[in-house]
Structures are given as C-alpha cells and as structure tokens.
Amino acid sequence: MTLRSDVAELLAGAGILDVDIDEAVADEHVRSSAYRRIVSATASSRNRDGSGAQGRDRDRDRATVATILRDPVEIVAKTAVVDFVDRMATRATGPDEFRRWSAGLMPEIDRLPTDGHRDFIRRRVRDWLLYLSVEEGMAPASAELAKATNWMQRVLAEGTTSSAVLDQLAESGNTRKIRNIARNRAGSRTRRTR
C-alpha cells in the first residue's frame, strides 16, 4: 500500500469526498485534518443496536487504525489514533465495552516505532478505563487514581459527581490545581446537600 492509496481508502470508507488526496499526501497538516474527520465519521457511525455488528465495527476500527499508523509522519498517526480513542471512550456504554474495543487496537499500536507514542496511547486508554469505571459508580483505589495522568485527574476533578473521587483528588491530586479544583467542587457539593 502507498500513502496515497491509504488516504484515498480511508476517505472513501468514511464517505468524505471533499478532500484533495494529492494535497493530503503532500501536506501532513491537510492529512492530519483529514484523519480527524475520518475518525470522527467512523466513531459516529458505530453500530449500537446490539445486533452482533459490534465485532465487525471493531474489525473495521482496527483496520482504520492500522492504515493510519502506516503514515510516514508518526506524530500525525499518533494524534489521529488518540483522537479516535477519545471519541470512542466518550461513546462507550461502560468500561467493559471500551476495554473490548481498545484491546483490538493494541496489536496495531504495538507496531508504532517510538516507545513514547505507544506508551502515550496506552496511558490514554487506561485513563479512559478509569474514567468510565468512575462514571459507572466505582470508586478507584487511591493507588489507581494516583497512576492517572494529570490530564485525567483534571478531567475527573472538573466533571465527576463522585464525592469519593473528589475527596481523593482534593487530598492527593498530582498538582495543586487538581487538588484545588477537587476541593472547591467537593465543598460546593457539600454546601448544596445541606
């Protein structure tokens, strides 16, 4: 496969017809933008009817990631895959669904040449699994919460409704900003429930 055929196949598969393929091949910024549109369209088209098509969706998603990861500019590929992970995590019905989906991508992600890029994507998946578990009502162990990236701790501090998680982050969040956000939100929740 060539970069041109990969980009053309991804765009056609996502139903995106208004991207100049030659321009995308020549310019990594155009290609990066095209990848973001591709993963957005792919994530939006996921089958949610429980009819057994989910396995086909996962196979298609894995093929999409494999194709994107062949891009010669590794940071462009990594950025697109992280965007895909983020979009799928926010659409997942819970941690089990997201765990199954992301497990299918790991063999492809393991092919990334740069350790840091592989590790970043793996951490992002772990962060989302933590987030989805919290959203499902599970309070993580403090050691598990401490392993979350600063980004995910802040996402949780700003958005979770779990008082247990807010209390943990207020006490031992990785940064002062995270601790302050969690403390302020935990305090306002306490005032509202009185």
CA–centroid distance for 169 within its chain:
22
SS3 of 52-117: CCHHHHHHHHHHHHHHHCCCCCHHHHHHHHHHHHHHHHHHCCCHHHHHHHHHHHHHHHCCCCCHHH
Q: What pLDDT shows up at residue 42?
A: 92
Q: Which positions ≥6 away from 85 have C-beta within 8 Å?
A: 102, 105, 121, 124, 125, 128
DSSP-assigned letter for residue 45: T
Q: What pLDDT shows up at residue 45?
A: 84
Question: What share of the chain in percent tops pLDDT 70?
Answer: 92
Q: What is the mean pLDDT of residues 12-21?
A: 95
Scored b (16 or more CB within 10 A) or e, 135-149 reads: beeeebeeeebebbe
The encoded tokens of residue 36 equal 């973001």
What are the pLDDT digits (tens) for 28-86? 999 999 999 999 999 988 754 433 346 678 889 999 999 999 999 999 999 999 999 99
Q: What pLDDT shows up at residue 190?
A: 53
What are the pLDDT digits (tens) for 102-136? 999 999 999 999 999 999 999 999 999 999 999 99
Residue 1 has pLDDT above 90, yes or no: no
Q: What pLDDT shows up at residue 55?
A: 65
